[in-house]
Chain A
Amino acid sequence: MIKIEDWLKWVIIAVIVIAVALTVRYVLLRSSFYAGGG
């Protein structure tokens, strides 16, 4: 099993969480709830 150092583990977690958060924000702002309709 690959052993990941503790500091690297937190870097990976942070990158994933930030990516998910920004994706959720992007999708929500494009949704009809925020953007309305045409």
Chain B
Amino acid sequence: MEFDWKSIVKLVSIVAMVGVVAWVIYDLIQKLPKFQVTGKKIVTISEGETGRGPITFFIVLTWDDICTNHAGPNLPPLWSGGNLNVGSFNVSVSKVAVSSGASNTSDSDKDCWLHIDDVQIDGVSVMETKPLSYRFKDCALEHGKVVLAFPVKRNVGDTVNVKVFTKQNWWHILGRGDDPHNYDYDIILR
């Protein structure tokens, strides 16, 4: 059998082309932004409060330190390179009412936005006004803070599911857009 190197080169080229295209498609699908799930938070209450029936807990959502991937305090995320983190909510539970607050300062091209479209506890929307929008002044340089608290009446030991639906508009090397970022938390009340 004659060694036909031209046919082999042609075949290798076609196989490489198909392989690389398939890998790129597979890789992009694998890296699609996923619904973020955090670990469970466990809240301990005193022994005397167990077995008393439902009590009111406050689910506290805290958003701070939104620009988590800076190369330096005076450098915008443009220069940080790589993937830019968007931060996340910290979820805690309190048995006393928590005052809500947020930064909401002046406007500029470099300001960033956090739009909270909805907060659901066990699948039920608990936001009276929605969406809530928070502006962070010059997010490359300044960090913002948002605190939201929602009361729930549950028994000790119950698990509550908290979903937060947001659109986030951070300053970015390739432009801006209201990117959806959603969060899903399971909280055990113990």
Contact = CB atoms under 8 A, between A and B. Distances in A.
Interface of A: 5-7, 10-11, 13-15, 17-18, 21-22, 24-25, 28-38
Contacts of B168: 36-37
B16 interface: yes
B24 A25 contact: yes
A5 to B, nearest CB: 7
Interface residues of B, number: 42
15 contacts: A13-B13, A14-B13, A18-B16, A21-B24, A32-B179, A33-B33, A34-B83, A36-B86, A37-B77, A37-B84, A37-B112, A37-B179, A38-B76, A38-B112, A38-B171
B8 to A, nearest CB: 9
Given A5-B6, A32-B177, A37 B86 contact: yes
B17 A13 contact: yes
B9 A22 contact: no
Contacts of B179: 32-33, 36-37
B181 A25 contact: no
